[in-house]
Amino acid sequence: MDRRDFMKMTGGTILAVSSGTYAFQFLVASGRSVSGDNIAAGTVRWGMVIDLNKCIEGCTACLDACRTENNVAFHGDNRWDVHWIRKVKAEQKIGTESKEKSILLLCNHCDKPPCAQVCPVQATYKRNDGIVIVDHHRCIGCRYCMIACPYNARYFNMKDSEHWQNEERPKRSHGVAEACTLCAHRLDTGRQPACVEACNNTGAGVLFVGNLNDSDSEVSQLIADRPTKRLREELGTEPKVHYIGL
C-alpha cells in the first residue's frame, strides 16, 4: 500500500464514521420537533380599524393599557421612551389648505413590510396571519427597520427597561428594536388586544381588531360599509390598519 492509498483509507473512514454519528444525532433526538406555522397561510389575516371620529380628545386609555400589558419602556424622557401606539398630529395639505388631525399611530402590520425586507438577520418577519413581529432573541440592534419603516412606528431600546408591570410578559433589554405586535400573545389565545379592551371599557369603541379574510367579521363589515383610508397607501406597503375619518 502506498501513501496515497493510506490517505484515502483514513479519510474515507473518518468521513463514513462521522457522517454516521451525525445522522445518529437526529435519530435519537427528542420527540419534540419544531415544525411549521400553526396557522395555514391565508386563513387568518389580522387587521385593525380605527374610527377616529369617536376618539376622545385627551383620552390615553389605549396607550396606558399597551404600556401595562407589554412592559413598554417608559423613562419619562422623550429620548428613551418607547411607544407602541401613540397619538400624533397628522397634517394633510391639499393645494394651499392644510388640515391637522390627531390620529392614533401604531405599527401598520403591512402585507409587504419594508422592515422585514431590510432586516439582515430575519429577526423581523411576517407571520402567516399577517402580524409583523420582531424576534428579540435574534435582533442585533442595527436599526435598519427603523429607517425603512415609513410610519415611524419602530423604536429602539436605548436603555434597559426598568418597567415590569406585567410579570407574565417579558420586557426588553437594551439594544433591540421593537414595535406593536398587535398583542399576538392575546390573539393566539383568542382574546382581544389590550388597547381594544381598554378602549371598549371606556365606552368609546374606537378600535376594532379582526380577521380581514373573513367577510362576516366586524372589521370587514366596517371596511365595506364606511369610507376608510390607510396611511401612505401610495408606497405600496399594503398596511392593514384602516382609518375611518382620516
Partner 1 sequence: MNIKNIIQCRIGFFAALLAIIIIIYPLGYSLTDYAIANDRAEAQPFLERTAPEITDCVEDTIYMRYHHWELLGKIREEIVRYGKRGDVSLDTCKKCHTSRVKFCNKCHDAISMTPDCFGCHYYP
Total of chain residues touching partner 1, rule CB under 8 A: 39
CB of 160 to partner 1, least distance (A): 7
- Per-position x/- string for 125-144, each x denoting binding to partner 1 as judged by CB under 8 A, each - no binding: x-xxx---x-xxx-------
What is the torsional sign of CA 191, 196, 199, 203? negative
Give the one residue of 4, 32, 89, 93 binding partner 1; rule: CB under 8 A: 32
Nearer to partner 1, 104 or 133 (CB): 133
Binding of partner 1 by 14 (CB under 8 A): yes
* Cell numbers placing 30: 427528542
Give residues with Cβ within 8 angstroms of 27, minimum separation 6: none
> Grid coordinates standing for 74?
417608559
Position among 54, 143, 185, 230 found at the interface with partner 1 (CB under 8 A): 185
Collapsing DSSP states into helix, strand and coil, what is residue 49? strand
Stretch that binds partner 1, among 49-57, 83-91, 95-103, 180-188 (CB under 8 A): 180-188
Q: Does 167 bind partner 1 (CB under 8 A)?
A: yes
Half-sphere exposure of 90 (CA within 13 A, CB side): 17
164 interacts with partner 1 by CB under 8 A: yes
Q: How far is the CB of 73 from partner 1 (least distance, A)?
A: 11
Q: Which is nearer to partner 1, 97 or 168 (CB)?
A: 168
Interatomic CA distance for residues 52 and 40, integer angstroms = 33
Q: Kindly tell me the burial class for residue 15, based on how many C-beta atoms sit within 10 Å of its own C-beta (0-12, 13-18, 19 or more).
A: exposed
Distances (CA, A) of 156 to 27, 31, 176, 223: 42, 38, 6, 32
For 80, the grid coordinates are 428613551
Give the three cell numbers for residue 215. 367577510
Q: Does 98 bind partner 1 (CB under 8 A)?
A: no
The answer to whether residue 162 forms part of the interface with partner 1 (CB under 8 A) is no
Q: Point out which residues bind partner 1 (CB under 8 A).
A: 1, 5-6, 9-10, 13-14, 17-18, 21, 30, 32-39, 125, 127-129, 133, 135-137, 160, 164, 167-168, 170-173, 184-185, 188-189
